[in-house]
Structure 1
Amino acid sequence: MSSLNNILYFQSGLRVLANMFLLFFYTVIILCHRPKLLDLISCQLTFIHIVMILTGGDIWLTHVFESLNFENGFKCKTTFYISRVMRGLSICITCLLTVFQAVTISPSISLLAKFKHKRKTYVIYAFFYLWSFNLSFSSRWIFYVGAFTNVSDSNQMKVTESCSIFPMNYITRALILTVTISRDVFLVGVMLTTSAYMVIILFRHQRQYKHLHSISHMRASPEKRATQTILLLVVFFVVIYWVDFIISCITVQLWKYDPVILSVQKFVTNTYPTITPLVQISSDNRIINILKQIQPLHNQIFKKA
């Protein structure tokens, strides 16, 4: 268990540094330059992952929350509610990212081409709808989560050291599970469909232009690079999501608090917000160029010292 905790510590530290760096970068781009719509979506996804870090029950944050002079029940409801909202937004914004990129690279003769000119309007509407839906849909947890008392007496399922989920009747649990699965399956389906569409477009583009352009020029295309990054993120997300879903189903069926299972689930859940900023940083030429400019300056300072 101690080795698993050490892994979680390392994962938490890496996740915080990568997401904070990326959020700072996107904030500078949005405030000081002319941002792309893709930057706005990516910035929001990064912000969501940072909030997930703050409310996800990480080991090193637990002591901080416990030091606040609030009632345990209030802290449990607040942090669990926000973490569920952010989890829902993570899958929704990732789906929006794939749809947006599919529209961006779609040829002028396709059905998606008519949405290109109003992408900004549609993205703003999507932001408003996705936030409203997840804030309202996750509000059920306010009533079913609270401070942990005694498992043997109340049949609560302990989800952290001090928080638990209260028992639900069969109809309520089945309804919540059905709506949640339907939402997630629909969004994952949209992601996979748009990803397959983008792969087809990239394949056709490569086949059509390989006689006119060099392979190195094709690889330098910003649209192609952004599309490949999003496809990679989708693959990571889908794999991690279904692993997390299987673990969640096992936990709910057993209705049992198991620290090892919850630690493994925490590691799986946090993998996507850890990988996402690393993939974005390594694939964004603007960040790579900044880091290249910083390196000689760092070497000069180090030599003078």
Structure 2
Amino acid sequence: MNTVSTYVIIKKCLFSQIGIGIIANNFLLLFRIITLLHGKPKTTDLTTSHLALIHIIMLLNAVFLVSPDVFESLNFRNDVKCKVFFYIGRVMRGLSICTTCLLSVLQAITISLNTSWLVKFKHKSTSFIFSLLFFFWFFCLIFGSNIIFYTMASSNVTQRNVLIVSKYCSLSSMKAIIWRLIFILTTSRDVFFVGIMLLASVYMVILLSRHQRQSQYLHSSSLSARVSPEQRATQTILLLVSSFVVMYWVDFIISSSSLVLWVYDPVIFDIQSFVVNIYATVSPFVLMNQMEKEMKKVSNYIAMKNGFYL
């Protein structure tokens, strides 16, 4: 199989992935909005809605970066378009990390024991979550601003110390000390949030294991096999965090290797885009897997409002 056919196959897979991800995240966001309007909102509902919105923006942004026709259709200078799209991608990636971390922490607080120190956070108002999400936006908008200064339009003239990332966009070189500083700061931020995710996940696994042992001791095997809504939600978050961590490290290896070797080609860029968007595409399906009872409640509520009963 030659390079051209490989490139075409990767492109087709990438566009299919983006299309599926946008549809799934829109469905998840729509359902969460309906839930918030027709019931008392939970902190996890707000966070899930925020995560779906971030992933919609991330996937739409990816369309402009991986599709030359869509990129060219915008009547702006290529330099401006490259800066805007790379900046949005960087900010959305950071927000995805922060929001997934928050979601895992909120679920750990939800199932925490009454004797745990986490119990004092259980009754925090939704305004607290709004403030936290606002801080994440401010933090990521400031933190990702450095990409604007090093992103530029690709030139037909061969330039030294310029890394061609896509057909239209390139990254200019920077001083070694600045590159190291940005790398350390970005990696430290990501490791911090991923570390909190893993700590919350370990805590939830311990609680689930303890609950399962108690259930087996107190009840028959038929009863202990039942999974409570809290357990199902916790297992969903654990699966979500696991998929995110795997995706993050694969993306980290690809991008770090490309920057260290200063080599990037369209195939590598599309493969990295596919890896980055895996989590944005898979997460709504994972989250929708636990929404069956919630969908039934909302349907019954809407039916009762209209004089029908399900």
TM-score w.r.t. the length of structure 1 is 0.89
Instruction: Indicate the structure whose relative CO is greater, using CA pairs within 8 Å and at least 6 residues apart.
Output: 2
SS in 2 for 1:157: strand
Deviations 1:189-227 (A, max 9, x none): 111111000000111112223344565576442211111
Partner of 1:259: 266
Contact kept, 8 Å, 1:151 with 1:157, in 2: the verdict is no
Deviations 1:19-78 (A, max 9, x none): 111111112222333222111000000000000011124677542332121111111111
Aligned amino acid, residue 190 of structure 1: I
Partner of 2:135: 129
Aligned amino acid, residue 282 of structure 1: N
SS in 2 for 1:146: strand
Q: How does 1:1-305 map to 2 (within 5 A)?
A: 1-57=7-63, 61-118=67-124, 120-150=126-156, 152-213=158-219, 219-286=226-293, 289=296
Task: Name stretches of at least 5 consecutive residues in structure 2 with no aligned partner.
Answer: 1-6, 301-310
Q: CA deviation at 1:168?
A: 0.7
- Name whichever of 234-243 and 119-128 sits farther off: 119-128
CA distance, structure 2, for counterparts of residue 288 and residue 119 of structure 1: 24
Task: Name stretches of at least 5 consecutive residues in structure 1 with no aligned partner.
Answer: 294-305
Partner of 1:301: none
Deviations 1:68-95 (A, max 9, x none): 2111111111111111000000011000
Q: Report how many residues are paired.
A: 293
Percentage identity across paired residues of the two chains: 49
Aligned amino acid, residue 25 of structure 1: F
Contact kept, 8 Å, 2:215 with 2:224, in 1: the verdict is no
Q: CA deviation at 1:267?
A: 1.2
TM-score w.r.t. the length of structure 2 is 0.87
SS in 2 for 1:33: coil
Contact kept, 8 Å, 1:247 with 1:265, in 2: the verdict is yes
Contact kept, 8 Å, 1:281 with 1:288, in 2: the verdict is no
Aligned amino acid, residue 53 of structure 2: F
Alpha-carbon RMSD = 2.3
